Amino acid sequence: MTPVDDRNLALELARVTEAAAIASARSMGQGDPTYSDQMAVSAMRAAFDAMHINGTVVIGEGERDEAPMLYIGEEVGCRAPHDPKMDIALDPLEGTNLCAYGRPGALALIAMAPQGCFLNAPDIYMKKIAAGPVARGAIDLDASPAENLHRLAELKGVRVEELTAMILDRPRHEEVIAAIRKTGARIRLIEDGDVDAAIATCRPDSGIDIMFGIGGAPEGVLAAAAMQCLGGEIQGRLMFYKDEERQRARRIMGDRDIEALLTMHDLAHGEIVFAATGVTNGSILKGVRFFAGGCETHSLVMRSKSGTVRTIEAMHDFERKPAYTLEG
């Protein structure tokens, strides 16, 4: 892929996340997560058709027999003979409940890289830790929350009490939360959306310093792709609660040690392009805002090679873009 292609593709990718965000944002607050997800998936699927890539979904909506669109292994894009072969990790609506109940942090997400750059992660849980650029090489999934927080405070030149950790509000996190509280660090508990949380650790204006906890493994790959562009660090380890999950991991991960600590490089590497569009207001991006005849979207577009991080505020005109309307 030439550098020019790569750069253009990054912008094209934002058009695809915008389409998914606009479609799902219309369902905000309807209380129907499945419907919100369907809106995002079908809009994203349709928008891919215009992209000049030979894409293969590697992190997607599920196995072929359980997901009608954007399933793992599905080929997307124009797929002309000269179009670049790309692997795609996506989550058309990360935080379906957030969108369905109008809560902050829902995103439409896509990462793209040359073949073989994303971990084929099964759709199970992953324990994760993530922090921004100053923490590169300094956080450790196997160390205690206290140790990680003290290291980070030192690197940031602040007191531990001045750090903010973001973590999914789940009973499974009771112990970690107690350990963080003991250090005096501040906590923001979230209902869903740990990709948003991981990205937030890399954005100085988010007020979030570190993310802990167990969330989805596919979301771990997406977060790693984003963090390769942003310069932060994430580590993960697959969590197995059932034997069937181990078997599934072995099947899709081949020779890899399924219990091993997964570095950011293991999760995602190579020349990654990443795009995210806010569906509901979040810690990094504003959500979709509708007005007469159109809407406004906020997206993040970035490439790991250049490290350029663009925020794109776009105005969409429904008259000239009927695909974005309820009728289209």
| 188 touches ligand VTB by CB under 6 A | no
| 94 touches ligand VTB by CB under 6 A | yes
Q: In angstroms, rounded to a whole number, what is the distance separating the alpha carbons of residues 66 and 68?
A: 7
Size of the site for ligand VTB (CB under 6 A): 11
Could you say which of 37, 74, 209, 219 contacts ligand VTB (CB under 6 A)? 219
CA-nearest of 143, 52, 68 to 60 is: 68
Q: In angstroms, rounded to a whole number, what is the distance separating the alpha carbons of residues 87 and 111?
A: 8
Give the contacts of 236 (CB within 8 A, at least 6 positions apart).
126, 127, 128, 129, 141, 217, 220, 224, 261, 262, 267
Query: Helices 145-156 and 174-183: crossing angle, nearest 10°?
Result: 40
Which lies closer to Mg ion via its Cβ, residue 107 or residue 153? 107
Options 26-34, 41-49, 138-146, 191-199: segment touching ligand VTB (CB under 6 A): 191-199
| 245 touches ligand VTB by CB under 6 A | no
Could you say which of 55, 122, 145, 193 contacts ligand VTB (CB under 6 A)? 193
Q: In angstroms, rounded to a whole number, what is the distance separating the alpha carbons of residues 319 and 322?
A: 6
CA-nearest of 215, 275, 299 to 89 is: 275
| 282 touches ligand VTB by CB under 6 A | no
Strand, helix or coil for residue 241: coil
| 215 touches ligand VTB by CB under 6 A | yes
Q: Is the CB of residue 286 less than 8 Å from the CB of residue 309?
A: no
Which residue(s) pair with 234 in the sheet?
Answer: 130
Which lies closer to ligand VTB via its Cβ, residue 22 or residue 198? 198
Among Mg ion, ligand VTB, none, the one that 18 touches (CB under a kind-dependent 5 to 8 A) is none
Closest separation in Å from C-beta 37 to ligand VTB: 10
> In terms of C-beta density within 10 A (0-12 exposed, 13-18 middle, 19 or more buried), how is residue 242 classed?
exposed
**Rule CB under 6 A: which of 147-176 touch ligand VTB?**
168, 170
Query: Helices 3-25 and 33-48: crossing angle, nearest 10°?
Result: 150
According to DSSP, residue 176 is labeled H
**Rule CB under 5 A: which of 72-101 touch Mg ion?**
91, 94
Could you say which of 77, 216, 278, 287 contacts ligand VTB (CB under 6 A)? 216
| 236 touches ligand VTB by CB under 6 A | no
Could you say which of 60, 95, 278, 294 contacts ligand VTB (CB under 6 A)? 95
Which lies closer to Mg ion via its Cβ, residue 12 or residue 61? 61
| 194 touches ligand VTB by CB under 6 A | yes
Closest separation in Å from C-beta 209 to Mg ion: 23
Which lies closer to ligand VTB via its Cβ, residue 170 or residue 188? 170
Q: What angle do CA 95, 98, 102 make, to 5 degrees?
A: 150
Closest separation in Å from C-beta 5 to ligand VTB: 31
- Interface ranges with ligand VTB (CB under 6 A): 94-95, 168, 170, 192-195, 215-216, 219
- Interface ranges with Mg ion (CB under 5 A): 91, 94
